[in-house]
Structure 1
Amino acid sequence: MSFAKVYGFEGNPRTRVALVVAKYEGLDVEWVKTNPYAEGGVGAEYLAKFPLGLVPALEKGDYKLTEAIAIASYLASQENKAGLLGQSKEDAADVLRWASWANADLLPTIASWFRPLVGAAPYQKPQVDAAKEKSLKHLNYLEKTLATRTFLVGERITLADIFVASVLFRGFENVLDAEWRQANPNIVRFWQTVYHQPAFFEVLGNVEPTPVEKAVVYTPPKKEAKPKAEPAAPKPKPAAAPKPAAEEEEAPAAPKAKHPCEALGPAQSFPLDEFKRQYSNNDTPVAMKWLDEHYNANDYSISTTTSLPSITGLHTRLEASRKYLFGNMLVYGESNASKIIGIYMIRGNDWKSIFEVAPDYESYEFTMLDYKTDRELIEKVWSWEGEVEGLKCADGKTFK
């Protein structure tokens, strides 16, 4: 009889950690393959046990547990045969530090880098570039740390090594190519050492992993030509029934309200949709060079907005103005010392007509900018790079 059931899916680093730890502790766990990204999701039966639908999960009789670090720690603590939680309280704290870093920092940033490249998430070049830069910063820290040690905590393998090595798999499979590996020998040596441990290698199916030779690159999907539909034969109009003498004419339907920007007439020399494509598919300096050549201040203006409400919420409420608007809203600084700054290009120069479609627009402060005078600030915010008011960019959203 198995010790417990572990729910997760193949290739998932967090699932792999649980299975490796069980091997180290000699625990017979039943792996129930459960993929939240598959058609139909996890299913009603799973949600009845784990209402949040989180994967991986552990079930031992009536005991239910989610969160990868909690599951791995629970399995490692059963008999502590392998000492995966460290040899002292200080070791245990350090193990949890590395596991948390791998799970909450390294994995999401690497995933944000490679998933859009392989078509697993929408591709927006500025976000992918920002994720790549952040991932390389994390990995540089790891490379320096491993310059003087074999394992992350102490002289034996721990949960810290298992977590970090599992996360690195996703990078080696997609973006940490031969050139990168040559420049980071300590991480490569560490990764090979950990996955060649018997328990780890057994979970992999005793198959030698093959890192990617050249990092994957984004390839825009080809648009399929739609077949031309045969024109339908016109249907004969039925004869209108005579109206009773006393019948009144129906009032005509009220015309659909138009966006205020339509009063400006057709767009002149600047095609905003084309700039959005240039921004999405090129480095920001390339897109800005294109903008320099095509921008006409008579057609479009630049405005800033600063405030603290949710960025995603504002962009959702601006949907009605999408074809008249482009821009970034970014978070600068860090927790308890942050500022949100957005820079948008709008049709015309009446920012209120653009933003008042969002009911909470009055919560924001707006300032019109001059494209030539404020060019440096605009490029900083649109490229997610550099400091603004002495603060570095931490996160943000693009509206296009």
Structure 2
Amino acid sequence: MALTLYYHPYSRAAGTLWALEEAGVDCELRVTNIMKGEQKGAELIAKNPMGKLPTLVDGDVVVTEAAAIALYLADRYAPQLAPAVSDPARGTYLRWSFFAPSVIEPAVMAKMTDWPVKEVAAGWGTHAAMLAAAESAIAGRQYVLGDTFSMADVVFGGTLRFMLDFKQIEPAPVFTNYVDRLKQRPAYQRAEERNLAMRKQLGLQ
């Protein structure tokens, strides 16, 4: 049974296309007009009560949350992109994959909105600590796992790419050089071409 991705090119589902391209998985795109609130419609709410994109349907399995979808695709369809459960590198892979949505995103949002939080109360600590930790993940390395590209780079690197493109973090060389390497990947470029084509098709450019 074919996979279905509830998708819009101006949502996190745009990044899921990169994960799909890296995994080499065919997937039907179910365009969901977030401008009209279609993600809150009955069809999607029945699958994802949050009413958010991306939502992936794989047979009887529903996977939500962009990071979870990417890791699911690697484990199920592209094991070369994920360390085995028995491989100690799996710890590093999971660490930085979850760091992106759990620490980078809320730390950036808190800073952008001047949301006052106590460091000991917030799971993401301070903005400065987040940046230092993110730099440590890739300093002196090609990828999160050293010389080996993995799906963690789609999640972690994709988050940094978005933050840099929208000027939500400072363009430190360790970040920009890493993201530039990721943008050279054919799968990333194919995904970007598909997102661009969809934006044009929907009259969004």
| TM-score clears 0.5 | yes
Deviation at 1:74, TM superposition (A): 2.1
Counterpart-to-counterpart distance in 2, 1:169 and 1:127:
26
What residue in structure 2 maps to residue 204 of structure 1? 192
Deviation at 1:188, TM superposition (A): 0.8
Deviation per CA, 1:75-95: give whole Å up to 9, x if none: 1123426x2112662122221
What residue in structure 1 maps to residue 65 of structure 2? 67
What residue identity is the alignment partner of 1:61?
A: G
Deviation at 1:37, TM superposition (A): 6.9
Counterpart-to-counterpart distance in 1, 2:179 and 2:110:
21
The answer to whether the Cα contact below 8 Å between 2:19 and 2:70 also exists between their aligned partners in 1 is: yes
1:151 counterpart = 2:149? no
- Identify if the C-alpha distance between structure 1 residues 35 and 170 changes in structure 2 by more than 3 Å, giving closer, same or farther: farther
Q: How does 1:157-236 map to 2 (within 5 A)?
A: 157-176=149-168, 180-181=170-171, 184-205=172-193
Aligned length: 190
What residue in structure 2 maps to residue 95 of structure 1? 93
Counterpart-to-counterpart distance in 2, 1:5 and 1:175:
32
1:142 counterpart = 2:134? yes
Q: Could you tell me which of 32, 45, 51 is aligned with 2:43?
A: 45
- Structure 1 SS opposite 2:6: strand
Counterpart-to-counterpart distance in 1, 2:146 and 2:44:
39
What residue identity is the alignment partner of 1:46?
A: L
What residue identity is the alignment partner of 1:167?
A: T
Counterpart-to-counterpart distance in 1, 2:28 and 2:63:
15
- State the identity %: 25
Deviation at 1:35, TM superposition (A): 5.8
Counterpart-to-counterpart distance in 1, 2:20 and 2:75:
10
Deviation at 1:193, TM superposition (A): 0.6
Deviation at 1:162, TM superposition (A): 0.9
Counterpart-to-counterpart distance in 2, 1:126 and 1:66:
27
Bigger Rg over Cα: 1
- Identify if the C-alpha distance between structure 1 residues 64 and 145 changes in structure 2 by more than 3 Å, giving closer, same or farther: closer
Counterpart-to-counterpart distance in 2, 1:74 and 1:126:
33
- Identify if the C-alpha distance between structure 1 residues 22 and 139 changes in structure 2 by more than 3 Å, giving closer, same or farther: same
Deviation at 1:160, TM superposition (A): 1.4
| Higher share in strand | 1
Deviation at 1:17, TM superposition (A): 4.0
Deviation per CA, 1:181-212: give whole Å up to 9, x if none: 2xx211110011112211112111289xxxxx
The answer to whether the Cα contact below 8 Å between 2:2 and 2:59 also exists between their aligned partners in 1 is: no
What residue in structure 1 maps to residue 5 of structure 2? 6
Aligned Cα root-mean-square deviation (Å): 3.1
Counterpart-to-counterpart distance in 1, 2:71 and 2:140:
26
- Identify if the C-alpha distance between structure 1 residues 144 and 70 changes in structure 2 by more than 3 Å, giving closer, same or farther: closer
- Identify if the C-alpha distance between structure 1 residues 105 and 33 changes in structure 2 by more than 3 Å, giving closer, same or farther: farther
The answer to whether the Cα contact below 8 Å between 2:20 and 2:26 also exists between their aligned partners in 1 is: yes
The answer to whether the Cα contact below 8 Å between 1:18 and 1:71 also exists between their aligned partners in 2 is: yes
What residue identity is the alignment partner of 2:68?
A: A
TM-score of the pair, normalised by structure 1: 0.42
- Structure 1 SS opposite 2:109: helix
Counterpart-to-counterpart distance in 2, 1:194 and 1:64:
28
| Higher share in helix | 2
Q: Could you tell me which of 22, 25, 34 is aligned with 2:23?
A: 25
- Structure 2 SS opposite 1:89: coil
Counterpart-to-counterpart distance in 1, 2:185 and 2:76:
20
- Structure 1 SS opposite 2:49: coil
